[in-house]
Structure 1
């Protein structure tokens, strides 16, 4: 049975979304969004896999390597900030589409880059697209999920991101030695083609439409969703009594993120984004180069070691997706960062004396820190009201990218300054430990609706 409210409100739209059982419709939409997110992740890590070859082909210095890695991250930072602001005004689906098109076209252009300077510029543009798509897509998936089992539903979607990272290293391990680095970026242009399919199958978020005052449109979208869900799920349960705002919410602003209960949430989650991604990219962005420059292994071997690390990271993401609704967000975040800290400090204490030793312990660290970071894509949208949810996610994306930028820069400076590998990994372990402490102050969100988690600001 479908129910169309004769007088829809913000609260009734949310209640109708909450009463929907997870169905083929949910899985279909999650998959369509996931396809483009997969290729965003794929594009993000290609430069790290191509870097050992580029160092030889263009004679790059350590500073140039750092610039090539961080230029995309700077673009992602700006893309995340702007896209969140726009997504709260023009819609989630439009911003996801725009981000993917920018990423795909920039990747194709990188394949024909004639010089290092062009590579840096195009990586920045590509970063704008990746940074714009990822947090908004996470916002959208959270808004179509119901409170019960929302953690597993969202994190199973988020698995596409580490899957994209893993696939990038897998493809690179075969493509780079046989076809060269430029072929990688041609492959990375695929998401621009996938966008046409996504737009036809993904409706705009009903929660966002209602929050913007487009209640009749939100009512029509929910009615279509109810009809499709009922075909496979049968008679739908009655909506629970509506909770949350009954009236249209005012336009969200940056002030929302630092007012009332949201100030603590923003401070804690921003710290978690920064520490988690500082460690993540401090490890992964430099590993192929460390293997070849410090331990003098072949490019093939370096790429295969890097593949192990990303495979372990994917396994960590899968593990946390299966347990998150049982253990809660705070425990998962604290455990992930603490486990990563333990692995990295152990590697530092052992001296990081061989490439194989680094590969093993870096993979253990990746298992934990990847699990932490994927959880943040679930956790951050739960902390903010609909009117500023995408902006809140994008603010997390800004601190994410700050960590992504500074992690490789700090590691690069230590490498060029002659620091030992043991010192580098011990430093990263200390940063992860600071993140684990910050996680202890996180608000638990398990099992509560988005409306229950987001009190009005008066």
Structure 2
């Protein structure tokens, strides 16, 4: 699938950037499988529970802004390691939760680390591999995240009954071993960070304002923020709440709902793999159009699944389209913005999406408090049509423009 001629140090750096995405998803997804237990143990309602994920996403926004600029101004790989340390330690400290404010605080700090990690990891990958292969590399990055989610599902199903939800979060400390390996095995100073077609802009100090320097650039940045908002709203809305909804509506156990999650995530992995391949071949406009329309239809139809078999098959199909698209954002943002703000652009755009899209957890909690699952699925399906309109408004995604090398 990929033919990359890299030395040992760059291979290890690239592997580290990809694997780290798996570890942050492992930590983040622990919440999905603990939500019902947390609600019962801390005696909180749906809206309060929804705020746990939303506060995490607000932390991601702060971390994305801070660490994106820091990585573009200083050394990406050093900053990258610190982001992992922050979210690993904060996740492990959730073990000591005895109140909702403490849980909010730890999730906020963990979000700071996770939010910083993504854009820096993408920038490291983009510095090592050619841009025409970034779609496929981004898909591998996304798949690593889903492997982390599958690991979270398996740990929840097998260990949460005996360790409790607090004990589950102790496994959030495991990324510290990855940081140790990176520290011992990768020479920070010998990691490639190329910038083809470099211009004078590429030596400027990174600023968030560079994402809004012209009217067209502002429209592009806002449209991408709308797209990532919908991406995150759909993903977190489904992954944070559907296991709980399924447990209630079908009367099944945490272990059985974990099986649904694993099937859905496998569909997501296949979707990302396919999306990365066809993105590099056909470009973003036709590929995103197809996946966004299919996502709206599949999510709407999912409400009619009324058996465990239908849930499993439907979950895999929904996962294929809904999260297959995630593989494309790192690739297209890297191509649409100059080298000197590569980390900043990825982190700001995605984490604004995370912060705003994270409110879907609260909104879904509100909907479930007053209505039913059908209304939730209609709400989520409509979001993908909004994303489609935003995507079509981005002029630089037109084939004749997108295929021309950008600022780099």
Common topology (TM > 0.5): yes
Q: Cα deviations across residues 244-283 of structure 1 (Å, max 9, x unaligned)?
A: 3268622232222112352232122111101111111111
Say if 2:142 and 2:326, in contact at 8 Å, map to a contact too: no
Question: Equivalent of 2:278, from 310, 316, 323?
Answer: 323
Q: CA deviation at 1:68?
A: 2.1
Q: Which ranges of 4 or more aligned residues in structure 1 deviate by more than 6 Å?
A: 445-451
Q: CA deviation at 1:24?
A: 5.2
Question: Equivalent of 2:359, from 406, 419, 430?
Answer: 406
Say if 1:30 and 1:141, in contact at 8 Å, map to a contact too: yes
Secondary structure at the aligned position of 2:182 is classed as: helix
* Equivalent residue, structure 2, for 1:369: 322
Question: Equivalent of 2:211, from 246, 254, 257?
Answer: 257
Matched, 1:56 2:40: yes
**Does 171-180 or 421-430 show the bigger shift?**
171-180
Q: CA deviation at 1:22?
A: 3.1
Q: 2: distance between equivalents of 1:294 and 1:347?
A: 14
Q: Classify 1:378/1:413 alpha carbon distance in 2 versus 1 (closer, same or farther; 3 Å).
A: same
Question: Equivalent of 2:375, from 415, 423, 428?
Answer: 423
* Equivalent residue, structure 2, for 1:440: 392
Q: Classify 1:133/1:202 alpha carbon distance in 2 versus 1 (closer, same or farther; 3 Å).
A: farther
Q: CA deviation at 1:358?
A: 4.4
Q: Cα deviations across residues 53-73 of structure 1 (Å, max 9, x unaligned)?
A: 223333332122112222212
Q: Classify 1:286/1:316 alpha carbon distance in 2 versus 1 (closer, same or farther; 3 Å).
A: same
Matched, 1:268 2:223: yes
Say if 1:159 and 1:314, in contact at 8 Å, map to a contact too: yes
Say if 2:32 and 2:243, in contact at 8 Å, map to a contact too: yes
Q: 1: distance between equivalents of 2:398 and 2:28?
A: 30
Question: Equivalent of 1:185, from 161, 164, 169?
Answer: 169
Q: Cα deviations across residues 193-232 of structure 1 (Å, max 9, x unaligned)?
A: 2212213415356548x8xxxxxxxxxxxxxxxxxxxxxx
Q: Classify 1:335/1:398 alpha carbon distance in 2 versus 1 (closer, same or farther; 3 Å).
A: same
How many correspondences in the alignment? 401
Matched, 1:384 2:355: no
Secondary structure at the aligned position of 2:147 is classed as: helix
Q: 1: distance between equivalents of 2:376 and 2:34?
A: 22
Which has more radius of gyration?
1
Q: CA deviation at 1:364?
A: 1.8
Say if 1:177 and 1:300, in contact at 8 Å, map to a contact too: no
Q: CA deviation at 1:446?
A: 8.2
Q: Classify 1:137/1:447 alpha carbon distance in 2 versus 1 (closer, same or farther; 3 Å).
A: farther
Say if 1:111 and 1:185, in contact at 8 Å, map to a contact too: yes
Mind listing any 5+ residue stretches in structure 2 that lack a counterpart?
none
Secondary structure at the aligned position of 1:453 is classed as: coil
1:198-277 maps to which residues of 2 (within 5 A)? 198-199=182-183, 200-203=185-188, 206-207=192-193, 243-245=197-199, 249-260=203-214, 261-277=216-232
Q: CA deviation at 1:445?
A: 8.5
Task: Give TM-score scaled by structure 2 length.
Answer: 0.89
Say if 1:341 and 1:365, in contact at 8 Å, map to a contact too: no
Q: Classify 1:449/1:23 alpha carbon distance in 2 versus 1 (closer, same or farther; 3 Å).
A: farther
Greater share of helix: 2
Q: 2: distance between equivalents of 1:244 and 1:390?
A: 16
Mind listing any 5+ residue stretches in structure 1 that lack a counterpart?
1-19, 211-241
Secondary structure at the aligned position of 2:173 is classed as: coil
Matched, 1:338 2:296: no
Task: Give TM-score scaled by structure 1 length.
Answer: 0.80
Q: 2: distance between equivalents of 1:319 and 1:139?
A: 22
Q: Classify 1:202/1:337 alpha carbon distance in 2 versus 1 (closer, same or farther; 3 Å).
A: farther
